[in-house]
Amino acid sequence: MDDTLHIAACCDDNYAPYAGVMMLSALKATPDTAIHFHLVDCGITRDNLQALKNTVEGAGGTLNVIEPDDSLYRDLPTHRYGPAVYQRISLPAYLPETVTRVLYLDCDTLVLGNLNHLWETNLEGYPVAAVENYSPTACRDIGLPRPEYFNSGVLLMDLAVWRDEALHRAVDDYAREHAAGLTFVDQCSLNAVLRQRWRRLPARWNQQSDIYKVMTRDNDGCGYAPQELHEAFVNPGIVHFIGAKKPWKRYSFHPLKDTYRAVLAQTPWAGMTPPDDSPGTRFRYVTALGRHWNTYRRKAQIKKAARHGP
């Protein structure tokens, strides 16, 4: 296997700063490892592309920028996600044939664990390894049981299998036929085509924001044992800030927001104004006493659980 760890991402200019945080966190969490990033550029400005390159190279990595084929997914519904949401499907075609394995990461992720442990996973012939989607409702659009539906924000992909079986084209075809009726357009399309053909990863490799609900009340039918969820809770390898719980927003109460912002402060986008910043948002944040209490309580739970175990 190539000693280089290959990581892919897709984003537009709005998410360029957060792609920089993801990349920098991956490099810091995985020292003494050659990491090469493949970024599908869905409309990033020249200045932000240069800032991303400086961030990656300054931390010892390398960055390849890919110009996508915009015609592939033209006219497909994107809902609130934007056209970049589909481009991960085409990674087997975009990346060089010499790259036979890639770790895809959404740009709203933060890497805290050494990625070599994930990268060395034996895929056992499966096209992809992933973490179950924590939400009990996302799977309903395609009629899959909850434990059989994965979250597509962290994907370890065997590109040789994808290319041999033209899986990316099969996912593309499914999306074209069904996307209008899907809530999570690319994720549902991937799950429909790869049904029962993915290897389950430990939950800590995609700690989704729903973990707090899953551990307390939405655990009926979850495929992870309480011990695995506990490990993801106190020792996440990758934190995935799904939904509206973005740590770069002013109105954010994620317990790992400060951890995220500490990495953001080391990038060219340090000090950037939160995209939701306004006098009204600042007032709402200061006066949201219940949410502040929940954040404090969850931070305390993490510390306590780390000391005493499940």
Question: Is the pTM higher than 0.85?
Answer: yes
| Coil, strand or helix at 250 | coil
Those residues with Cβ within 8 angstroms of residue 72's Cβ, 6 or more apart along the chain or in another chain: 86, 90, 172
Rg of the chain over CA atoms, in angstroms?
19
How do the pLDDT tens digits run along the chain, 310 residues long? Answer: 468 999 999 999 999 999 999 999 999 999 999 999 999 999 999 999 999 999 999 999 999 999 998 887 777 766 666 677 788 999 999 999 999 999 999 999 999 999 999 999 999 999 999 999 998 899 999 999 999 999 999 999 999 999 999 999 999 999 889 988 888 889 999 999 999 999 999 999 999 998 988 888 777 889 999 889 989 999 999 999 998 879 999 999 999 999 999 999 999 999 999 999 999 999 899 999 898 888 888 888 887 776 765 5
> What's the distance, Cα to Cα, between the start and end of the chain in Å?
37
Per-residue burial over 93-120, b = 16 or more CB atoms within 10 Å of its CB, e = otherwise: bbbeeebbbbbbbbbbbbbbbebeebbe
Determine the Cα–Cα distance for residues 211 and 222; give it in Å rounded to an integer: 11
CATH topology of domain 5-308: Spore Coat Polysaccharide Biosynthesis Protein SpsA; Chain A (3.90.550)
For the chain, the domains span 5-308
Determine the Cα–Cα distance for residues 61 and 44; give it in Å rounded to an integer: 20
